[in-house]
Structure 1
């Protein structure tokens, strides 16, 4: 590394000061800044943008660390991140808007829209409803949850994060060829269900998923960068994954261990507009885009959804035994729902919604305290479920 790059890197890591809102809460800064600084100094994350809104006001806003470590480029607040599963709430909201408009119903069999999507369970064709897709009780899975050589790998199913020649229709054809892991409606299994939902949206609207989501969610919220592809630019953050002594840069396609399986990432997928739009993982955008969307949800859904619809989405649909984010957490439509804060050992209020993304993101909305927190990093998996996420949460609630 050149002296110039070393100097730039040092500056970004140690001198990067919060780009604060005018009404920045100084006590909140005093708690959050050290959490972010420590995660970067410990080389657990490379860079991050963290936003906190309270009662509709931005009270904390900071870009820290590096967007591109090898180039020595400091993170900026308007940098673009690959969303991974942060995509799911956007696609879910698009589907729920179609429900409001009477174009689809929660109890529609998926086969009404996708006649060829007829997976079996226990040797018989299963009936999957739209609501089963929304709350991940369809009996589907993700390939990365399976051991190497699992049924999805054998069928050639894409998890939506890799570069592939498959179309969405072909991927779902392969998915439907594999028997379901559980009877629809009976068990929570985080899965490719939202990719299937994306295809339902396409058929119901007569538009590709990217255009439908833009029309139903992105454009009404005036989101500046959210979409299913982006062009090469310095605003696009580099992608890293957990490693020692520091996170490793993702180059080409990288299979990152997760549980018994591996999740294949292809960071360049977001630059190829010809890739099929993955409803579960395919979008990119800024931290501000995510905050704007979540704040619309917190305030009741306008201009994209009604308050009644949002209340339904924020109600637990699975029961806390699903443990979607650990003990005490169930699942609504689009996100986990906190049912029992004591069981979850969290300062968040009952009814808090939360989720993240595998490229290194975590967010939550506490409707009781009127708090929305978005923490976007460029580091898998620390930024999604590592100590960084809990430290940010605890700092927001004054535990630091």
Structure 2
């Protein structure tokens, strides 16, 4: 039974079905769908798309509000958005696929890759001090440290979310393969997962015309409380930290392919989702391209995306329960201020509602 057909049932029959396990699941989906729109309106998000995947099946895929406010173009489950840092889980899968084939060694020293010394020198001299004042450029540093956000202080001893460092990881990956990172992403992830509504773009790679014409436009609420159009994201390089345009339906395809083992092996998936651990035994809340944390005893892997005053995103999985939430928005309304040195997805309003509403097997 689809979520739409459930809504069309006579009230008495719907109530009876809601008492069954299947009916209770359908009722949870519909209650959550209504809650999503209430939260969207409360957070003044002009356009929002959502997908929920349960046991390898998409049980909710819907859009709310407007992809283009001025032209009154509705947001749907097929609306493309800039997914910002939700790109990082995709980049993590690219790295793991290449590792499985022996093309990429995650434990190779960064100093053995071209231009690493130059990047380090420039970043420490001119980069944002919050990310590079204590950045580790020593010979001990490996590609795994970069992809696991363990580069600040002494590499491997603590976690600090450093998107600039992570973005640079595309360069050693390109060096190891002789391919552009965008081509690798298309070949290693988009194609095998069947992600036909996804593409990368950067300053030297224009967005595919069909996606460009359907893109959700970015908005922000100004200091007077008025909703305004925002300029689009500025030009970026072919980095691993961002650059993907996608839809919630396509990210659901990625999610199912990942769970079914069509992208990487179970062992590689476990390695990607294993939180770091410092030499002193402290758990570091990041794997390879994913945040990893426990919320009320439940294992949660996730990533957020935030482009200031333009776009935001959330991709949250409960692997042991086969549950996934995907949200894409054309404002920064999904962002909740997660700290650079921690993982607090339970404070995100939509995530909190999802965790409260759904429990898996």
Smaller-chain TM-score bracket: 0.7 to 0.9
User: Could you tell me which of 208, 214, 217 is aligned with 1:238?
Assistant: 217
SS across alignment from 1:390: helix
Q: 1:366 to 1:394 in 2, by over 3 A?
A: closer
1:373 aligns with 2:328: no
2:301·2:316 contact (CA, 8 Å) conserved in 1?
A: yes
CA contact 1:23–1:58 (8 Å) conserved in 2: no
Report the TM-score when normalising by structure 1: 0.68
CA distance in 2, matches of 1:395, 1:65: 24
Tell me which of 106, 128, 138 is aligned to 1:126. Answer: 138
Alignment of 1:1-400 (within 5 A): 20=3, 25-42=25-42, 44-117=44-117, 119=120, 125-127=137-139, 128-139=141-152, 182-191=153-162, 192-229=164-201, 230-232=207-209, 233-243=212-222, 245-251=225-231, 265-266=233-234, 269=235, 275-299=236-260, 302-318=261-277, 330-339=285-294, 341-342=295-296, 350-358=298-306, 359-380=311-332, 382-385=333-336, 388-394=349-355, 396-397=357-358
Distance 1:289 1:322, change over 3 A: farther
Aligned-residue offset at 1:20: 4.9
Cα distance in structure 2, aligned partners of 1:62 and 1:208: 34
Gaps of 5+ in 1: 1-18, 140-181, 253-264, 270-274, 343-348
Q: TM-score, normalised by structure 2?
A: 0.75
Structure 2, unmatched stretches of 5+, are 8-24, 122-132, 202-206, 338-347
- CA drift of 1:42 comes to 3.0
> Retained in 2: the 8 A contact 1:83–1:283?
yes
Contact 2:94 2:189 (8 Å CA) reproduced: yes
Whole-angstrom distance in 1 between the partners of 2:135 and 2:92: 30
**RMSD of aligned alpha carbons:** 2.9
Q: 1:79 to 1:102 in 2, by over 3 A?
A: same
Query: CA–CA distance in 1 between the matches of 2:137 and 2:284?
Result: 31
Encode CA deviations 1:290-340: one digit per residue, 9 max, x unaligned.
1221223334xx222111100111111147x999xxxx981111111123x
Q: Which moved more, 1:307-316 or 1:389-398?
A: 389-398
Structure 1 residue 115: Cα displacement: 4.4
Q: Cα deviations across residues 257-310 of structure 1 (Å, max 9, x unaligned)?
A: xxxxxxxx43xx4xxxxx5212101111111121221223334xx222111100
CA contact (8 A) 2:32 2:353 kept: yes
8 Å contact kept, 1:362–1:385: no
Shift of 1:130: 0.9
The answer to whether the 8 A contact 2:32-2:354 is kept is no
Task: Specify the alignment match of 2:130 in structure 1.
Answer: none
**Structure 1 stretches of 4+ moved >6 Å:** 21-24, 120-124
CA distance in 2, matches of 1:30, 1:322: 43
| C-alpha distance 392-236 of structure 1, shift in aligned 2 (>3 A) | farther
> What is the rounded CA distance, in whole Å, between the counterparts of 1:335 and 1:73 in structure 2?
33
Secondary structure in structure 1 of the residue aligned to 2:327: strand
In structure 2, the CA distance between the partners of 1:375 and 1:109, relative to structure 1 (3 Å rule), is: same
Partner of 2:21: none
Higher relative helix content: 2
Q: Deviations over 1:332-388 (max 9, x none)?
A: 11111123x23xxxxxx53220111112111211122210111111111x2133854
CA shift, 1:21, in A, is 6.4
Displacement of 1:71 after TM fit?
Answer: 1.6
Moved more, 70-79 or 382-391: 382-391
